């Protein structure tokens, strides 16, 4: 074998090894049909890459490396003298095959880590139904990843594989889209969660934020069908933004150069001015885009899951700090205080579809209606919310943003864009009756909280046998949060001598709450399916 054939041998060997992993994975149980379809697709990709690698060098070899003639006998071909000279075109293609195979490894590993025992498995089918109702014909797979974050991979897997495999179409007989990708629905996205929080129902309301990312992406990637230009919505918005902020950026850069004592007749003044303006404009656009996308996604999360999404976001915010300035080091994320303010405004009905009268003034989330809730619980929850709201009234984040010329320049434009896109998305959510309304949430919540207090899964109000009220995912998530926030003491034990010790029993209480609520998600889905079939 020459050096190219040896390379092909290693590629084919790796594809077979990867395909074996996919076959073993396919034989295991899957929480969703989507993850199984993706596993089968990756297995097909491995087989097509092996075939492409062999066929890339076939024409330049005299050996018959493959045949469909079952009656013929293959004769071994004697090795030619070893050669180090290579066909550059062949080798470049083989490198592309190898590179795609290397990319496939981590993708398969993600699915290997997505077995039922590593997922909040009862949540998966329930969450997919939310996706089906909100974004029809869209498939998601919930996967753990080792970053401590919830995230969505905003690249449609079908489109990505079509592009990646497209350059090898000439080297295989079958049509890749009709064979390799035939089982894969589209669009198809991966949504990630931190495995450390697998059983933490309190944080899984953040999945609503990730759905917001998909919705925002769909809007910003649209093109005008009546225009010959194929400029996307986000590209148009960025162009308008740049024209708006360019004078501010240019004057600011000139001031910086003057402060550095660089005169405008300096040989390097022109290139420095041009490069600095380009860099600052690029940073400003990234800052604007991140602010719009994150804040609208936050609004979507709160609209879908109510106060639970706000409380979960605050938990994450406290880990990062409330007022970090958006920069390259923070990936241009807006300050958490700024984001939480948008969520509070949404819960208070100040961010809503302009064409909808929601929520009515007599149906608000906070303060809680006294007639429904236990006075002690009502007081604790209201105090917790008011503490969050008070933090948003302090405009430390706005002061930080306005002290920087870039963030100050994009702030008004970003806020108008947030309101505009949120209006479009919230109109869809309300029209589909998927929003978490205060009246619907709170009429069932006291009974669900009482069930948790008595160590019963909060899947429904079953006090009247002929009138069972099945809980929604939003109601179950909020019941868990309200139950936890109502806990009386239990964190400290006072030892002899007055020393305070951590009470380990509170961990058991927290685990029990998570187990009960995850079980409730499963039970509610079973009940809903049972009633649906009985009504046929």
What are the respective helix, strand and coil percentages of the chain, to the nearest 5? 60, 5, 35
Whether the CB-CB separation of 188 and 158 falls below 8 Å is answered with yes
Give a yes or no: residue 227 inside a domain.
no
Say if residue 321 is in the same domain as residue 419: yes
Give a yes or no: residue 104 inside a domain.
yes
Domains in the chain, number: 3
Helix (H) or strand (E) holding 140: strand 139-144
Give a yes or no: residue 226 inside a domain.
no
Give a yes or no: residue 200 inside a domain.
no
Domain end call among 436, 458, 492? 436
pLDDT of res. 64: 41
pLDDT-derived band at 79 (thresholds 50, 70, 90) equals low
pLDDT of res. 494: 76
Give a yes or no: residue 190 inside a domain.
no
Please name the residue that has the structure tokens 């939003």.
474
Whether the CB-CB separation of 482 and 449 falls below 8 Å is answered with yes
Q: Does position 66 have pLDDT exceeding 70, yes or no?
A: no
Say if residue 290 is in the same domain as residue 396: yes
The domain containing residue 406 runs over which residues?
233-436
- Which two structure tokens, joined as six digits, stand for 76? 């071994």
pLDDT digits (tens, 9 = 90+) for 457-516: 999 999 988 888 999 999 999 999 999 999 877 777 877 677 888 888 899 999 999 999
Say if residue 319 is in the same domain as residue 454: no
Give a yes or no: residue 428 inside a domain.
yes
Give a yes or no: residue 108 inside a domain.
yes
Say if residue 323 is in the same domain as residue 407: yes
Separation of alpha carbons 44 and 67, rounded Å: 20
Domain end call among 414, 436, 458? 436
Say if residue 319 is in the same domain as residue 456: no
Whether the CB-CB separation of 153 and 21 falls below 8 Å is answered with no
Q: Which of 162-176, 188-202, 381-395, 491-505 has the lowest mean pLDDT?
A: 491-505
* List of E strands, 149-285: 151-153, 188-193
pLDDT of res. 536: 65
pLDDT digits (tens, 9 = 90+) for 398-437: 999 999 999 999 999 999 999 999 999 999 999 999 999 9
Say if residue 394 is in the same domain as residue 454: no
Domain end call among 381, 405, 436? 436
Q: DSSP string covering 64-117, please?
A: ------TTS---PPPPPPP-----HHHHHHHHHHHHHHHHHHHHHHHHHT-SGG
Say if residue 420 is in the same domain as residue 444: no
pLDDT-derived band at 65 (thresholds 50, 70, 90) equals very low
Say if residue 33 is in the same domain as residue 93: yes
Separation of alpha carbons 318 and 17, rounded Å: 44
Whether the CB-CB separation of 245 and 409 falls below 8 Å is answered with yes
pLDDT of res. 314: 96
Say if residue 167 is in the same domain as residue 310: no
Say if residue 179 is in the same domain as residue 93: yes
Could you tell me the pTM of the whole model? 0.90
- Burial category of 364 from C-beta neighbours within 10 Å (exposed 0-12, middle 13-18, buried 19 and up): middle
pLDDT-derived band at 361 (thresholds 50, 70, 90) equals very low
First to last CA, the chain: 67
pLDDT digits (tens, 9 = 90+) for 391-408: 999 999 999 999 999 999
Say if residue 431 is in the same domain as residue 444: no
Say if residue 285 is in the same domain as residue 427: yes
Give a yes or no: residue 58 inside a domain.
yes
* List of E strands, 167-265: 188-193
């Amino acid at each position: 074998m020459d050096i190219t054939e040896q390379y092909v041998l290693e590629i084919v060997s790796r594809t077979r090894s990867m395909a074996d992993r996919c076959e073993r994975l396919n034989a295991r149980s899957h929480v969703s049909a989507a993850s199984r379809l993706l596993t089968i697709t990756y297995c097909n990709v491995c087989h097509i890459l092996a075939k492409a690698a062999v066929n890339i060098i076939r024409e330049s070899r005299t050996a018959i490396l493959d045949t469909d003639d079952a009656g013929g006998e293959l004769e071994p071909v004697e090795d030619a003298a070893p050669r180090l000279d290579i066909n550059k075109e062949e080798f470049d293609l083989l490198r592309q095959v190898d590179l795609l195979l290397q990319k496939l490894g981590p993708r398969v590993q993600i699915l290997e880590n997505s077995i039922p025992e590593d997922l909040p498995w009862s949540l998966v089918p329930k969450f997919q139904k939310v996706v089906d109702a909100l974004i029809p014909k869209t498939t998601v797979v919930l996967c753990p990843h080792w970053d401590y974050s919830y995230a969505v991979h905003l690249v449609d897997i079908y489109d990505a594989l079509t592009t990646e495999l497209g350059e090898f179409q000439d080297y295989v007989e079958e049509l890749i889209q009709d064979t390799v990708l035939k089982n894969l629905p589209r669009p198809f996205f991966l949504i990630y969660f931190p495995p450390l929080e697998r059983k933490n129902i309190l944080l899984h309301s953040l999945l609503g934020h990730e759905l917001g990312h998909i919705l925002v992406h769909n809007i910003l990637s649209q093109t005008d069908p009546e225009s010959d230009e194929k400029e996307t919505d986000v590209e148009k918005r960025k162009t308008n933004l740049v024209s708006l902020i360019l004078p501010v950026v240019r004057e600011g850069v000139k001031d910086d150069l003057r402060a550095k004592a660089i005169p405008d007749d300096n040989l390097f003044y022109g290139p420095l001015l041009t490069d600095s303006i380009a860099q600052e404009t690029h940073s400003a656009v990234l800052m604007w885009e991140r602010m719009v996308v994150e804040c609208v996604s936050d609004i979507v999360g709160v609209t879908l899951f109510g106060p639970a999404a706000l409380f979960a976001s605050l938990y994450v915010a406290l880990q990062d700090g409330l007022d970090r300035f958006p920069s390259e080091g923070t990936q241009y994320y807006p300050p958490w205080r700024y984001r939480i303010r948008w969520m509070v405004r949404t819960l208070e009905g100040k961010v809503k579809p302009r064409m909808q009268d929601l929520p009515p003034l007599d149906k608000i989330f906070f303060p809680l209606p006294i007639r429904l809730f236990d006075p002690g619980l009502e007081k604790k929850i209201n105090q917790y919310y008011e503490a969050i709201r008070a933090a948003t009234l302090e405009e430390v984040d706005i002061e930080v943003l306005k002290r920087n010329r870039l963030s100050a320049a994009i702030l008004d434009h970003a806020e108008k864009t947030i309101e505009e896109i949120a209006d479009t998305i919230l109109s869809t959510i309300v029209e589909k009756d998927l929003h978490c309304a205060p009246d619907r949430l709170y009429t069932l919540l006291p009974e669900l909280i009482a069930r948790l207090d008595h160590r019963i899964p909060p899947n429904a109000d079953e006090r009247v046998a002929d009138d069972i009220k099945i809980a929604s995912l939003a109601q179950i998530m909020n019941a868990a949060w309200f139950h936890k926030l109502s806990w009386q003491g239990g964190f400290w034990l006072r030892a002899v001598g007055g020393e305070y010790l951590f009470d380990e029993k509170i961990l058991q209480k927290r685990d029990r709450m998570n187990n009960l609520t995850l079980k409730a998600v499963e039970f509610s889905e079973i009940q809903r399916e049972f009633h649906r079939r009985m009504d046929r």
